[in-house]
């Protein structure tokens, strides 16, 4: 049977930092059933989003607009990756690493994520969150990758 043309709303959620201050939004771009296959994380200028850790899902990021610093902490090692919409590239992150997103530009930054496996709201307690201070107090900086 041939698929019909249809329009569907995209779920958009305003995000906030640990103090409750809005820092951007998430937009579900493509869903397969109840699972989110592709979403956009937008960050306001100078905003920090995170830290979060996934135990099931890998993150596959591409910066579409602006400049985003993606800080990855694995154990006591901290590596910062600079992603820019001016020169798109993929950043593939495994499970069980702490991830912080920071818009280091003057305009809103857009980060596309293709999680693997797709986000499933029925999988409870798969994502863990901590404050920036809690995560960064016990790590050493390993470097910045542009």
Asked whether residue 7 is assigned to any structural domain, the reply reads no
**pLDDT tens-digit profile of 122-142?**
988 888 988 888 888 877 656
Reading the block at residue 26, the tokens are 């998430």
Is the pTM higher than 0.85? The answer reads yes
Smallest CA-to-CA distance from 28 within 52, 9, 50, 55 is with 9
For residue 30, give its domain range: 12-145
Q: Which two structure tokens, joined as six digits, stand for 69?
A: 């610093």
Q: CA 42, CA 68: separation in Å to the nearest integer?
A: 10
The CATH number of the domain holding residue 77 is 2.60.120.10
| Best-predicted range by mean pLDDT (3-7, 17-21, 56-60) | 56-60
Domain tally for the chain?
A: 1
Domain assignment present for residue 2? The answer is no
* Average pLDDT of the chain, as a whole number: 92
The residues with which 92 forms a beta bridge, in sequence order, are: 60
């Amino acid at each position: 049977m041939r698929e019909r043309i249809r329009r569907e709303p995209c779920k958009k959620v305003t995000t906030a930092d640990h103090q409750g201050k809005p820092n951007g939004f998430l937009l579900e771009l493509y869903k397969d059933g109840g699972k989110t296959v592709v979403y956009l994380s937008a960050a306001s200028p100078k905003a920090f989003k995170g830290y979060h850790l996934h135990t099931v899902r890998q993150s596959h990021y591409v910066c579409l607009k602006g400049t985003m610093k993606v800080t990855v902490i694995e154990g006591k090692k901290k590596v910062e990756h600079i992603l820019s919409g001016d020169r798109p590239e993929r950043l593939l992150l495994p499970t069980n690493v702490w991830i912080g997103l920071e818009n280091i530009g003057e305009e809103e930054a857009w980060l596309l994520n293709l999680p693997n496996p797709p986000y499933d709201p029925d999988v409870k307690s798969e994502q863990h969150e901590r404050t920036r201070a809690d995560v960064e107090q016990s790590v050493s900086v390993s470097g910045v990758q542009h």
